Amino acid sequence: MNKFIVADTANCIGCHACEVACVTSHLQDHWPQQRHRFLPRIHVLSHQGASSATTCHHCNDAPCVSSCPTQALLFSDDSVQFKEALCIGCKNCVVACPFGAIEMAASNDDAPLLAQKCDLCLSHPSGQQACVASCPTQALQLMDEKRLSQLRQERQIRAAMGQPGEDVRGARRQAILDKAPRVGAKKIAAEERKQHFQEIYQPLDEGGAEHESDRCLYCAQKAWCNWTCPLHNSVPDFIRLVNEGRIIEAAELCHQSSSLPEICGRVCPQDRLCEGACTLKNEGGSVAVGNLERYITDTALAMGWRPTIGDITPRQERVVVIGAGPAGLGCADILARAGVQVDVFDRHPEIGGLLTFGIPPFKLDKNVLQVRREIFSSMGIRFHLSQEIGRDVAFSELVENYDAVFLGVGTYGLMAAGLEGEEAPGVIQALPFLIASTREVMGLEESAEYPLTDIQGKRVVVLGGGDTAMDCLRTAVRRGAESVTCAYRRDELSMPGSKKEVVNAREEGVNFEFNVQPKYIQRNRKGQVSAVGMIRTKMGEPGPDGRRRPQPIAGSEFELQADVLVMAFGFQAHEMPWLRGHGIRLDKWGQIITGGKGRTANQTSNDKIYAGGDAVTGADLVVTAMAAGRQAAAEMLARFRAKEGG
């Protein structure tokens, strides 16, 4: 008989470790380079609180084998195997499989769609089935004729002797999920915190770190939380090190995959990434991964530890990085660790980009960035701040004088609502408002480009529902607004930002108007904004992106009184006239195009110039920008080494 994988539903905890193990085992134990390359041959399905894994049954009389016109599917090694070279992509096998265990997949962007199925990891050097080896509850087993016969005999004997089963059904699942509930970091009370701009989350103490780290199931070394983190941080391993009291080792591990761990621990939307993927999410609450990540580096730094680059041989190449945000800093970090001389130019007076000036201090203490700047400078990275490309320094000179260029310029373009009267006094954009506020808190002089809006005692309305909107709302509260209202065109569940930020805003006294859409801006006799005309909406059918579209409700018009109206619709690419003449292609949104045939993922149409972060993808997360910058650095280093070999 053929061998096959069998799943014990009663003991499956839905951790997805089998999926991760399957994918990485077929990539020489590496992570996929792109998210759409995560193509497991085993799938975890959940329904009504129960989970189980399903994969190929390797049927003895397999309909997929008989349906294949080219013998790409065949019986071999007591299993059903697949020969990719013979596959013509006809999909007969997909139709024939009664278990839905075969799917069509492409090995790369230029490759055709071919069949993919479980091969029992016969080609892996270990000879083990990765999914079976990785399952923390042994809910997966390889079943062959010997094991099936043994199982049958054991059950016959128990039945004949009137003995109970070998254990309580689901006992292993119950045992591993028996954890204390989440506590996490404590917040300063709303009435107190809205009086200042200090961080609202108190750091974990040693006891809190021990409690949260003890909750981690350590589903696998390469776990679902690792995969959902764009940097693939070694989450289970650094949590285990915390639990063992090995803080310095945990800090070293964090810095292997992240250039800014103490910052990501504060500002990443963990509820949508690592914590959203935690197996304990619905079993007492996710492990407080973000709090632990912050605790690790903050504690290590307080102990005098600093990340080091070790004994490296300086390279002859010089790279210029434009933009000191997360993408640029990630790129500079990797290059400096490889011995490359890096110069970073930025338009702002401090490093961090929108980390420093776009994220309010109550979410990220700016002293954290100053410490990180000292660390980077000690690594040999040179910063040239308050330097605007095209104004203070010519881009053409940088391209000529350096071996490679990285563009991590972010997105500073402002998005308008298209309403009549948007130019009225009192109507402001989110980003200039946040930058001006942060500069004032940092003690920097007021900038003509970012004037500070006085909102003391005024009625503030913010249009938008993302994290930037929440930042504006909570900043307005701290700046003494009489009332602060968020107006969002969809329902609360559809808000794109972090759910905890909505909770924080509501606790601080922000009012929310959901399912409303702006129609016009009302002005007083002096031409200043006095109200915004709204109409209520209902959620329509989902669009191509899966999100339901709001539809206006006739006769539901009303006005929201406003002295200050903040447009928080997000950011878009800004004008970069200095790029012209350098062969860099932009898409229809003004974003830099990278990758394509013959180019690495972060390489532009100019071989010497790389780009990553929001300038390429549009406004996204700190962690995705950093990941792109680090990857771009790796691509540059590969190019430099290839030239040496050539």
In the chain, what are the domain boundaries? Answer: 4-147, 190-302, 320-411+579-590+601-645, 414-572
Determine the pLDDT at residue 545.
75
Mean pLDDT calculated for residue range 514-527:
96
Determine the pLDDT at residue 498.
87
pLDDT band, residue 597 (cuts 50/70/90): confident
> Quick one: fold of 320-411+579-590+601-645?
FAD/NAD(P)-binding domain (3.50.50)
How far is it, in rounded angstroms, from Cα 646 to Cα 630?
Answer: 24
Residue 336's Cβ-side half-sphere holds a number of Cα atoms within 13 Å equal to 25
How far is it, in rounded angstroms, from Cα 176 to Cα 135?
Answer: 12
Domain 190-302 homologous superfamily, CATH: Alpha-helical ferredoxin (1.10.1060.10)
471 in Cβ contact with 360 (< 8 Å): yes
Q: Phi/psi class of residue 23: alpha, beta or left (left: φ > 0; alpha: ψ in -120 to 50)? A: alpha
**Model pLDDT for residues 393-418, shown as the tens digit of each residue:** 999 999 999 999 999 999 998 888 88
How far is it, in rounded angstroms, from Cα 170 to Cα 168?
Answer: 6
- Per DSSP, the residues of 524-547 read -TTS-EEEEEEEEEEEEEE-TTSP
How far is it, in rounded angstroms, from Cα 473 to Cα 441?
Answer: 16
Burial 599-638 (b: 16+ CB within 10 A, else e): ebbbbbbeebbbbbbbbbbbbebbbbbbbbbbbbbbbbbe
How far is it, in rounded angstroms, from Cα 182 to Cα 519?
Answer: 44
Q: Is the pLDDT of residue 468 over 90?
A: yes
Determine the pLDDT at residue 158.
86
> Quick one: fold of 4-147?
Alpha-Beta Plaits (3.30.70)
In angstroms, how far is the first alpha carbon of the chain from the final one?
A: 53
**Model pLDDT for residues 216-249, shown as the tens digit of each residue:** 999 999 999 999 999 999 999 999 999 999 999 9
| Alpha-helix residue ranges (DSSP H) falling in 162-269 | 171-176, 190-193, 206-215, 224-228, 235-243, 247-257, 261-267
Mean pLDDT calculated for residue range 137-143:
95
Q: What is the CA radius of gyration of the chain?
A: 28
pLDDT band, residue 165 (cuts 50/70/90): low
Determine the pLDDT at residue 1.
86
Q: State which amino acid sits at residue 207.
A: G
41 in Cβ contact with 131 (< 8 Å): no
Q: Is the pLDDT of residue 603 over 60?
A: yes
pLDDT band, residue 126 (cuts 50/70/90): confident
pTM for the complete prediction? 0.92
Q: Which of 291, 288, 292, 261 is nearest to 276 (CA)?
A: 288
Q: Is the pLDDT of residue 311 over 90?
A: no
Residue with tokens 């099936």: 148
Mean pLDDT calculated for residue range 202-215:
97
Determine the pLDDT at residue 225.
98
Q: Which of 249, 332, 337, 349 is nearest to 297 (CA)?
A: 249
228 in Cβ contact with 277 (< 8 Å): yes
How far is it, in rounded angstroms, from Cα 202 to Cα 387?
Answer: 35
pLDDT band, residue 167 (cuts 50/70/90): low
Determine the pLDDT at residue 290.
97
SS3 for 129?
Answer: coil
CATH (one of 3.50.50.60, 3.30.70.3280, 3.30.540.10, 3.30.830.10) for 414-572: 3.50.50.60
Pick from 104-108, 365-369, 456-460: least confident: 104-108
**Model pLDDT for residues 37-80, shown as the tens digit of each residue:** 999 999 999 988 889 999 999 999 999 999 999 999 999 999 99
Residue 205's contacts (CB-CB under 8 Å, 6 or more residues apart) are: none
Determine the pLDDT at residue 121.
94
**Model pLDDT for residues 435-464, shown as the tens digit of each residue:** 999 999 999 998 988 999 999 999 999 999
How far is it, in rounded angstroms, from Cα 547 to Cα 491?
Answer: 11
pLDDT band, residue 646 (cuts 50/70/90): low
Asked whether this chain's domains 4-147 and 320-411+579-590+601-645 adopt the same fold, the reply is: no
Q: Which of 151, 118, 141 is nearest to 40 (CA)?
A: 118
User: In the predicted model, what is the mean pLDDT of the chain?
Assistant: 94
